[in-house]
């Protein structure tokens, strides 16, 4: 193999390895921000579920309204399920949730009092290379999830001068 072909093969292998390192990432970094008033002043049950592709479909089929009473919820381990109870106005919570091997998605279900719309009580997060930190905004009667943006410090510093 000539030197150019060998170099190209090494670069291609390095790219494949970098992509593979991002696949199957099983740790979610989540910041929870609660509005001053949520769920009519009642504690809000929230579950963060680490799941693989097969279980994801089953969990999403159950949906947030039935999830908190489901048999499947009772069978999940601590590596698969993080149970939270949130109240309005709490300081931001930041945590890492490491799911079991094969985790490719994190589903968040909330059980708002008197809310039946799935979109208001459900968010799904697929951690990928470079997209690993999410902010969960807990509003009065709905959840929103957004990616935490990294600051471009070098560019910002250069523009400020």
For residue 52, being part of any structural domain is answered with: yes
- So what's the pLDDT on residue 19? 42
14 alpha-carbon distance from chain centroid: 28
CATH label of the domain that carries residue 80: 2.60.40.4150
Segment 67-99, tens digit of pLDDT: 999 999 999 999 999 999 999 999 999 999 989
Q: Are strands 133-138 and 27-34 parallel, antiparallel or unpaired?
A: parallel
Instruction: Identify whether 8 is part of a domain.
Output: no
Residue % of the chain over a pLDDT of 70 = 73
> At 143, is the secondary structure helix, strand, or coil?
strand
CA of 111: how far to CAs of 17, 49, 64, in Å? 40, 14, 7
Half-sphere exposure of 157 (CA within 13 A, CB side): 4
Query: 128 is in which domain, residue-wise?
Result: 25-149
Band (pLDDT 50/70/90 cuts) for residue 147 is confident
- Count the domains in the chain: 1
């Amino acid at each position: 193999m000539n030197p150019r072909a060998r170099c190209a093969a090494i670069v291609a292998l390095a790219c494949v390895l970098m992509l593979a390192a991002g696949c199957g990432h099983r740790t979610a970094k989540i910041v929870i921000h609660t509005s001053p008033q949520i769920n009519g002043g009642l504690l809000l049950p929230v579950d963060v579920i680490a799941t693989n592709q097969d279980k994801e479909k089953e969990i999403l089929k159950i949906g947030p309204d039935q999830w908190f009473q489901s048999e499947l919820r009772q069978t999940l381990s601590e590596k698969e399920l993080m149970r939270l109870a949130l109240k309005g106005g709490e300081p931001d919570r930041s945590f890492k949730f490491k799911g079991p091997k094969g985790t490719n998605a994190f589903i968040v279900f909330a059980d708002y009092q008197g809310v039946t719309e799935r979109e208001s009580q459900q968010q799904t997060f697929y951690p990928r290379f470079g997209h690993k930190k999410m902010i969960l905004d807990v509003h009065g009667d709905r959840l929103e999830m957004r990616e935490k943006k990294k600051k471009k410090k070098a560019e910002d510093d250069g523009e400020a001068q």
